[in-house]
């Protein structure tokens, strides 16, 4: 690598992540051949360390859906699901997953995904997850283990909530995983995975914090969805996840030293004029085009809420091997989608202050009620509290019919013109 230009080195973490994903999907394609059990589960509140402790392989359906969106395949899958009676208003992650299943269940890398041996549902504020796994159970006729996670209606986690979730882990989830895997719970193994998770989480928090620099060495929304890939999906708890975040941290530190911005599809983004906080998921079907609209306007995202759906580690939470079940319970309870609107507003207000943002933008997702409900209220309240201008655009997760490039571009241009006028 010594003879390669510095810009190439900064993308080494991306190359590593791509290899990690390819290797994982290849293992999944061979799971039945090698006698590996497969667990389908969701990103928010996932129990990856527990899955690995039973030597099973995790699959995250919403990751398959967003990958299909980025590869321009989701539109066909969504239409397939609608042919089978699913409404236009249903979460498009669900319809993409169902459509993919109906067309052979071919994963992002072109290899067939195995059917689940267990559906592990951690309910973390998104009611759609319940209905989604009902649909999958009707297709696969496999066991379901449900972990019911109380909603933070009052904006705090209580000891009784933790006790309730721990009880379910010990009395329902783990016995079902023992039955499906044919293996007894190995506490030492679980604790080793939790220790590894904690180290990766420490590095991720460091990475988010670097956006306080000017120019920001990261984009915490568009770049951020790549940064969260390993820790929010299949790899948290594994050595390769730790290696990824060590490498990413080194790359970002190099950018700080050279006062360089993040890597975009068109190269380094150094000329940063606006610092923005974003609420809501991105659009996946036109991801690169969407991102380009921002850096064309010289806008870098310094913090976002979507990149916290799998864990708000910057607020202090870490997995704890000394309290394995309690910390897993706290993780599930603390996910962003499990927090009430006042708490979400407080988080956004803190981001605006901590990262010295010029404004905030909401991308309201047509089919995602977990995010879109209450967002206009959030916008008005944030404007009142911060004195900064909010912007509002609309798109969808993986349905290309609901991404209007011209409309979004016009709104973004108007929004950034307003920020410029306010600055003057």
Query: Splitting the chain (424 residues) into consecutive groups of 10 residues, what average pLDDT does each group show?
Result: 42 91 96 96 94 97 94 95 91 95 94 96 82 92 94 92 98 97 97 98 98 98 96 94 97 96 94 97 96 97 95 94 98 92 96 98 90 90 96 95 95 96 86
CA gap 64, 285 in Å, rounded: 13
Give residue 1's pLDDT.
40
Give residue 10's pLDDT.
53
C-beta separation of 147 from 47 below 8 A? yes
Dihedral, CA of residue 188, residue 194, residue 199 and residue 204, to nearest 10:
170
C-beta separation of 49 from 193 below 8 A? yes
Phi-psi region of 320 (alpha: psi -120 to 50; beta: other; left: phi over 0): beta
For β-strands 267-268 and 263-264, DSSP reports them as: antiparallel
Report H helices in 228-283: 229-232, 239-258
What is the token pair recorded at 221? Answer: 């929304």
Phi-psi region of 161 (alpha: psi -120 to 50; beta: other; left: phi over 0): alpha
380-383 long-range contacts, Cβ below 8 Å, gap at least 24? 381/345, 382/345, 382/348, 382/349, 382/352
Give residue 296's pLDDT.
96
Give residue 8's pLDDT.
40
Q: Which burial class, exposed, middle or buried, applies to 33 when counting CB atoms under 10 A from its CB (0-12, 13-18, 19+)?
A: exposed
C-beta separation of 401 from 77 below 8 A? no
In sequence order, what E strands does 4-78 have? 38-40, 57-59
Cross-sheet strand order for the sheet of 118-123: 57-59, 38-40, 118-123, 144-148
Of 228, 213, 371, 372, which Cα lies nearest the Cα of 302? 213
- Give all domains of the chain, ordered by start, each with its CATH number: 6-185 (3.40.50.11890), 189-423 (3.40.50.11900)
Neighbouring residues of 6: CB distance < 8 A, sequence distance ≥ 6: 254, 258
Q: Output the CA–CA distances (angstroms, integers) from residue 417 to 254, 262, 270, 299, 407, in the order listed.
A: 32, 23, 20, 12, 16
Cα end-to-end span (Å), the chain: 46
Neighbouring residues of 179: CB distance < 8 A, sequence distance ≥ 6: 143
Q: Which burial class, exposed, middle or buried, applies to 34 when counting CB atoms under 10 A from its CB (0-12, 13-18, 19+)?
A: exposed
């Amino acid at each position: 690598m010594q003879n390669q230009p510095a810009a190439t080195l900064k993308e080494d973490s991306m190359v590593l992540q791509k290899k990690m994903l390819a290797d994982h999907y290849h293992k999944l394609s061979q799971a039945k051949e090698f006698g590996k059990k497969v667990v389908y589960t969701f990103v928010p509140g996932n129990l990856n360390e527990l899955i690995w402790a039973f030597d099973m392989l995790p699959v995250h359906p919403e990751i398959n859906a967003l990958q299909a969106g980025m590869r321009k395949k989701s539109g066909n899958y969504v239409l397939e699901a609608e042919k089978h009676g699913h409404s236009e208003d249903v979460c498009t992650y669900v319809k993409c997953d169902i459509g993919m299943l109906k067309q052979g269940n071919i994963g992002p890398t072109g290899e067939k995904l195995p059917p689940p041996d267990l559906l592990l549902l951690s309910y973390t504020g998104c009611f759609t997850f319940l209905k989604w796994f009902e649909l999958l159970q009707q297709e696969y006729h496999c066991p379901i283990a449900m972990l019911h996670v109380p909603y933070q209606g009052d904006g705090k986690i209580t000891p009784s909530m933790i006790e309730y979730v721990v009880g379910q882990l010990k009395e329902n989830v783990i016995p079902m995983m023992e039955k499906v895997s044919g293996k007894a719970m190995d506490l030492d193994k679980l604790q080793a995975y939790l220790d590894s998770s904690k180290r990766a989480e420490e590095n991720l928090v460091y990475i988010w914090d670097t956006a306080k620099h000017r120019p920001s060495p990261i984009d915490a929304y568009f770049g951020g969805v790549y940064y969260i890939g390993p820790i929010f999906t299949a790899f948290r708890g594994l050595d390769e996840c730790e290696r990824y975040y060590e490498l990413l941290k080194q790359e970002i530190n190099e950018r700080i030293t050279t006062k360089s911005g993040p890597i975009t599809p068109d190269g380094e983004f150094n000329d940063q004029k606006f610092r923005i906080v974003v609420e809501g998921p991105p659009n996946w079907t036109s991801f690169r085009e969407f991102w380009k609209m921002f850096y064309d306007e010289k806008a870098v995202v310094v913090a976002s809420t979507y990149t916290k759906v799998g864990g708000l580690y910057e607020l202090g939470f870490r997995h704890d091997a000394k309290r394995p079940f309690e910390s897993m319970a706290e993780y599930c309870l603390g996910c962003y989608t499990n927090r009430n609107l006042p708490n979400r507003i407080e988080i956004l207000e803190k981001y605006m202050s901590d990262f010295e943002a010029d404004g905030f933008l909401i991308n309201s997702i047509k089919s995602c009620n977990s995010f879109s409900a209450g967002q206009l209220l959030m916008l008005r309240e944030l404007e009142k509290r911060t004195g900064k201008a909010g912007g509002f655009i609309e798109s969808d997760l993986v349905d290309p019919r609901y991404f209007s490039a011209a409309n979004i571009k016009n709104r973004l241009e108007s929004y950034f013109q307003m920020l410029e006028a306010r600055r003057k």
